[in-house]
Amino acid sequence: MLSAGYVLRRVLQMVPTLVFILVVTFVLVRLLPGDPLSAIGGDHVTDAQVAQARAAYGLDQPLFAQFLLYVRRVVTGDLGRSIVVQVPVWSLVGERLPPTMLLSGMAVAIGVGLAVPLAFASALRRGRATDLAIRAGAQVGLSMPVFYIGLVLLTVFSAHLRWFPVGGYGDGWGDRVYHLFLPALTLGVSLAAVLMRSLRAAIVDVLGAEYVDFARAKGLPTRVILLRHVLRNALISTLALLGPTVGSLLGGAVITESVFAIPGVGRLMIESIYGRDYPVIQGLTLSLAVTVSLAFLVTDLIQASLDPRVAR
């Protein structure tokens, strides 16, 4: 069980992280050459308008006061407005979130579905041809850029074989899953390569543990030993990858969504960059970073509840 003390400590640990995220996203827009407002407004504004807006945004105040203003805005749920489509950033992100979440979920399912059997096959036949082939495959998977995997899958399965649509999101759940299958496979393949390596190492580790020898001595069938003892314990150590995985999935989504034209947050990021929509870039970076830090929190809490040694 989780102790309240550990949970509290872990949640408090997030405070500096959140402050850091706020600082970085604040500084990000400050890096723009010139005044953020002139960059935001473009060439079509008069000096009087700039001065007025400057006062409205608090840009005439010292930097630290501006930062506090920014923090207050974010905390009250105001991420600013998009310059291009004139909609609050918050609603824009919310609107684009479901495709990315579905895509990430499917990618994790495919990634785990590929990694677990492959890791077992590899670990149980350690040093033999199967093991070498699987590990070589994982190595190639790790070296292959996501957009390249996507492009190849798109050409083979959509353009040539016409099994899947060339992109887009679709209507209704079944259609959406169908539309997102190839993109999820793209992300899932590169995720599987990472997971497979860590899981294989964990399985090899667990196989040498005394409790596995004991289970064998008790006469438990191999299948039970592998599922109940080996897989379970190996998964716990691989669970530590959950936080980083969410981070790399969101990064991968930026690329996959542009390859497959999926209207998710990743594509929104790229569109905002091309459109120089800085409030959206800022708001998105902030929300994605907060999402990942929450994933790290959840990872730690799950790990601590499964393995009490972590909580110490």
**Residues found near other proteins in the complex (CB under 8 A):** 13, 16-17, 20-21, 24, 28-29, 31-32, 139-140, 142-148, 151-152, 154-155, 159-160, 243-244, 246-248, 250-252, 254-255, 258, 269-270, 272-273, 278, 281-282, 284-285, 288-289, 292-293, 296
Least distance to other proteins, CB of residue 298, Å: 12
Least distance to other proteins, CB of residue 273, Å: 4
CA distance 104 to 281: 20
Torsion angle, CA of 253/255/261/265, rounded to 10 degrees? 40
The residue (of 67 and 212) whose beta carbon lies closer to other proteins is 67
The residue (of 104 and 233) whose beta carbon lies closer to other proteins is 104
CA distance 81 to 167: 29
The residue (of 53 and 261) whose beta carbon lies closer to other proteins is 261
E strands present in the chain: none
Between the CA of residue 207 and those of 61, 72, 128, 131, what are the distances in Å?
Answer: 63, 52, 17, 16
Least distance to other proteins, CB of residue 309, Å: 19
The residue (of 31 and 217) whose beta carbon lies closer to other proteins is 31
CA distance 56 to 266: 31
Least distance to other proteins, CB of residue 25, Å: 8
Amino acid at 146: V
Three-state secondary structure call for residue 88: strand
Least distance to other proteins, CB of residue 33, Å: 8
Interior angle at CA 137, CA 195 and CA 142, nearest 5? 55
The residue (of 122 and 293) whose beta carbon lies closer to other proteins is 293
Q: What is the DSSP string of 51-114?
A: HHHHHHHTTTS-HHHHHHHHHHHHHTT---B-TTT-SBHHHHHHHHHHHHHHHHHHHHHHHHHH
Least distance to other proteins, CB of residue 142, Å: 7
The residue (of 16 and 174) whose beta carbon lies closer to other proteins is 16
CA distance 173 to 98: 11
The residue (of 109 and 270) whose beta carbon lies closer to other proteins is 270
- Count of alpha carbons within 13 Å of 141, Cβ hemisphere only? 22
Phi, psi (deg, nearest 5) at residue 183: -60, -40
The residue (of 151 and 236) whose beta carbon lies closer to other proteins is 151
Least distance to other proteins, CB of residue 173, Å: 27
Least distance to other proteins, CB of residue 185, Å: 17
CA nearest 188: which of 251, 296, 259, 114? 114
CA distance 264 to 167: 12
